[in-house]
A and B are shown apart, each in its own frame.
Chain A
Amino acid sequence: MTTHPHAAAISVPSPARSATPLSTRPEIRTHTEVPDVPDPVIECEDLSVYYGDFKAVTDVSLAFGHNEITALIGPSGCGKSTLLRCLNRMNDLVDSARVEGSVRYWGQDMYAPDADAIEVRRRIGMVYQKPNPFPKSIYDNIAYGPRVTGMKVDSMDDHVEQALRDAALWDEVKDKLKQNAYGLSGGQQQRLCIARTIAVSPDVILMDEPCSALDPVATLRIEELMLQLRADYTIVIVTHNMQQAARVADRTAFFTAGVNEITGDRTGVLVEYDKTSRIFGNPANSRTEDYISGRFG
C-alpha cells in the first residue's frame, strides 16, 4: 500500500484555536490536475430542501466533477448531511423531507417522476458516519449489494476479493471471510462499508463524515483509500475536519447557516465553492476566510 505524500500531516496535532490565522490554515495539497470547471457527474441547481415547513438548505447550485473528490465543509447544522442525502435520494426516507430545484445525474433529473430512487442509489452509494455493517459475515456483507441488485458476476468469490482489495482490506480479512463483521475494528468496519459500496460498482460514493468515529491511524487509511479510489469513482465527502478536506479534496464547498429574521430558522447556504487550493489559500469570501482560519464555526 502506498502512502500519499501528505500522510505525515496527520500525525501533526492540529494547531490550537488561539494561534494566528495563518498557522491554523490547513496544509494544502497541490491539485495541479484539477480543471477550472468540473466535468459534472451530479449537478444541483437551485436546490432547496425542506423538513416540513422548515427550510434546511436553500438555493444550492453546485457541480460535482467526474473522478474528483469534493469536500463539503461548514459548521454543524448547516445542512451538509441533508444536501448529501439528496444526492442519492436517501432523503426520500424522511417523511417530512421535500426537495425543490433539480439534481441531475449525467444530465438526467434524479427527482423526475419516472426516475427510480432504487436505480439512483445503485449508481450513487453512501458511507455513513458510524460504520454500519450488517450483522453477517464479512463475505456476506460484500456480497449483499451484488445479490440484491441482481448483478451478473462470474464468480462471487472473486468479486468479493476484488472489492476488499479495492478497499485496502483484503490482507487483513482474507483468512476470516466467514466471521461476523462485528469482530472488526472500527476502521476496518468503515473500510468494509466502503468495500460493500464499491461491490455494486457505483459511479459516485457519498461519504458523510466517514472518519469522525475513527482514530487518527484509521482516518489516515481511509484518506489514502479515498485518494486511490478517486481514479475510478467520483467522491463527495462531508467532513468536520478541515485538514482532511485540505488533504484529500480537489474542490471544496463551504456552507454556513443563515438565520431567517422572521422565523428564526437556521437555513444552510452555499457560501463559496472552488478548488481546494483556492478555498484554503485565497478564499474570495471573508466568511470562508474566517471559518478556515478558525475564527468562527
Chain B
Amino acid sequence: MTSTVAAARKGASRTLTSTGGVRSMWGKLRSLGFLVFLWISLLVALITLVVLILDTIRTGATRLDTRLFTEYPSSRPAEAGARPAIIGSAWVIGATAALAIPLGVAAAVHLEEFANRHSKVNRYVEVLVQNLAAIPSIIYGMLALSTLALMGVSNKNIVIGGALALALLILPVIIISTREALRAVPREMRQGSLALGATDVQTVWRTTLPAAIPGIATGTILALSRALGEAAPLLLLGGLVFISFDPNGLLSGFTTMPIQIFGWTGNPQAEFHELAAAASIVLLVILLAMNGLAIAIRNRYQRRW
C-alpha cells in the first residue's frame, strides 16, 4: 500500500520535473529578463537624477553664498541675489496654504462625513475632484488670470493672484489626501463620540479631525511642496524676474524661486547659470526638508489606534 503510493508519487514527480523543466527555465529566463529591465529603468532614472543634482551642485557651489540670500537681482551677476524670490516664495506659499488648507479640508470633511454617498451630484463631484488633480498646472494659471480679470484687477502679478492659481492647483490633492486620512479613522471612534450624545459636528471637530491631522498634514505638506516648485501658472500671471524690492503683502508684486531660476537660466551669461544652479540647490534643500517632514509625521503617527 505504502509502496504503491510512494511509487506513484515518485513517478508523478519525475514527469513534473521533465516537462516542467523546459517551461520553468523559459519562465525563469523571462522573469529574470523582466527583473533586469526593471533594474535598468531604475538605474537610468537614478543616474539621471544624480547627474543632474551633481551638475547643479558643481555649477552652483561657487555662488552658494550669503549674497544669494541678501542681494536683489541685478544685471551684474556678481552682485545679484535671490532675496526677493525667496521672500516672494514664502509669501505666495503662505497665502496658498491659507487659501487651500481650510477650503480643501472643509470640502473633504463635507464629502467624507456629511454628504450623502449615494446621491448622484456627490458622485459627480467625486469624479470631478479626482480629475482636477490631473489637470496641467498652466490651466490653473489661466483660471486665476481670468478670475482676476473678471474682478477688474489690472496688475495681475500680485501675491494673492499667484496664491489663487497655486491654491486651485493643490486643492484637489489636499481634498483627496484629507479624505483618505478621514477614512482611516476607525468608525468605532466616531461611534464612541456619538454614543456619548455628541452631535455630528462635535464629533468631527473633537474626534475625527484631530485623529486625522497627521494624515492631513502629510498630504498638505506634499501638496505645498509641489506648489513651491511650480513656475508655469505664475509665469502666465506675468511673473517678473527682475524685482528690486521685498514683496511685503498680498497685493505686492512678487517673484518666486522657480521664476527667478527660469529667468536666470534664460540669460546667456554663464555667471547667471551659476546663480540659477545655486538657487536651485536652495529650492531643492527646502523641498527635501518639506518631504522629509511629511515622511517624519507619517512615521511618527502611523496607526496609533
Residue from A119, A121, A133 within 8 A of B195 (CB atoms): A121
Question: Counting CB contacts under 8 A, is B199 at the interface?
Answer: yes
Q: Are the CB atoms of A144 and B194 closer together than 8 Å?
A: no
Q: Chain B's nearest CB lies how many Å from the CB of A60?
A: 21
Q: Name B's interface SS.
A: helix
Q: Chain A's nearest CB lies how many Å from the CB of B118?
A: 8
**Can you list 21 A-B contacts (CB < 8 A)?**
A118-B197, A118-B198, A121-B194, A121-B195, A126-B195, A130-B188, A132-B188, A132-B189, A132-B191, A134-B207, A134-B211, A135-B189, A144-B193, A145-B196, A148-B193, A148-B199, A148-B202, A149-B196, A196-B196, A200-B196, A200-B197
Interface bits A140-183 vs B (CB < 8 Å: 1, else 0): 00001101110000000000000000000000000000000010
Residues of A within 8 A of B305 (CB): 135, 182
Residue among B117, B197, B304, B305 with most chain A CB within 10 A:
B197
Residue among B188, B198, B305 with most chain A CB within 10 A:
B198
- Complex formed: what's the CA distance from A49 to B18 in Å? 62
Q: Are the CB atoms of B186 and A132 closer together than 8 Å?
A: yes
Residues of B within 8 A of A148 (CB): 193, 196-199, 202, 206
Question: Counting CB contacts under 8 A, is B192 at the interface?
Answer: yes
Q: Chain A's nearest CB lies how many Å from the CB of B297?
A: 15
Tally of contacts, chain A with chain B, CB under 8 A = 70
Residue among B188, B194, B195, B211 with most chain A CB within 10 A:
B195
Residues of A within 8 A of B117 (CB): 95
Interface positions of B from 98 to 114, Cβ below 8 Å from A: none
Interface positions of B from 181 to 229, Cβ below 8 Å from A: 186, 188-189, 191-199, 202, 206-207, 210-211
Interface bits A107-128 vs B (CB < 8 Å: 1, else 0): 0000000000011011001101
Q: Chain A's nearest CB lies how many Å from the CB of B197?
A: 3
Q: Are the CB atoms of A182 and B196 closer together than 8 Å?
A: no
- Complex formed: what's the CA distance from A136 to B199 in Å? 19
Q: Are the CB atoms of A128 and B197 closer together than 8 Å?
A: no
Residues of A within 8 A of B188 (CB): 128, 130, 132
- Complex formed: what's the CA distance from A144 to B206 in Å? 9
What residue in chain B is nearest A182 (Cβ atoms)? Answer: B304
Residues of A within 8 A of B199 (CB): 118, 148
- Complex formed: what's the CA distance from A134 to B191 in Å? 11
- Complex formed: what's the CA distance from A130 to B191 in Å? 12
Question: Counting CB contacts under 8 A, is A188 at the interface?
Answer: no
Residues of B within 8 A of A126 (CB): 191, 195
Residue from A90, A135, A144, A196 within 8 A of B191 (CB atoms): A90
| 6 closest residue pairs by CB, A with B | A122-B197, A145-B196, A132-B188, A126-B195, A148-B198, A132-B192
What residue in chain A is nearest B187 (Cβ atoms)? Answer: A93
Q: Chain A's nearest CB lies how many Å from the CB of B182?
A: 14
Q: Are the CB atoms of B195 and A90 closer together than 8 Å?
A: yes
Q: Are the CB atoms of A125 and B207 closer together than 8 Å?
A: no
Question: Counting CB contacts under 8 A, is A197 at the interface?
Answer: yes
**Interface size band for B:** 20 to 34
Interface bits A200-240 vs B (CB < 8 Å: 1, else 0): 10000000000000000000000000000000000000000
Interface bits A16-53 vs B (CB < 8 Å: 1, else 0): 00000000000000000000000000000000000000
Question: Counting CB contacts under 8 A, is A69 at the interface?
Answer: no
Q: Chain A's nearest CB lies how many Å from the CB of B116?
A: 9
Residues of B within 8 A of A193 (CB): 192
- Complex formed: what's the CA distance from A90 to B186 in Å? 16
Residues of A within 8 A of B198 (CB): 118, 144-145, 148-149
- Complex formed: what's the CA distance from A133 to B192 in Å? 7
Residues of B within 8 A of A144 (CB): 193, 196, 198, 206
What residue in chain B is nearest A206 (Cβ atoms)? Answer: B195
Question: Counting CB contacts under 8 A, is A243 at the interface?
Answer: no
Residue among B188, B191, B196, B206 with most chain A CB within 10 A:
B196
- Complex formed: what's the CA distance from A171 to B282 in Å? 55
Q: Chain A's nearest CB lies how many Å from the CB of B117?
A: 8
What residue in chain A is nearest B118 (Cβ atoms)? Answer: A95
- Complex formed: what's the CA distance from A148 to B195 in Å? 11
Q: Chain B's nearest CB lies how many Å from the CB of A52?
A: 12
What residue in chain B is nearest A180 (Cβ atoms)? Answer: B304
Residue from A93, A134, A135 within 8 A of B194 (CB atoms): A93
Residues of B within 8 A of A128 (CB): 188, 191-192
- Complex formed: what's the CA distance from A88 to B192 in Å? 13
Residues of A within 8 A of B195 (CB): 88, 90, 121, 125-126, 197
- Complex formed: what's the CA distance from A88 to B210 in Å? 26
Q: Chain A's nearest CB lies how many Å from the CB of B7?
A: 42
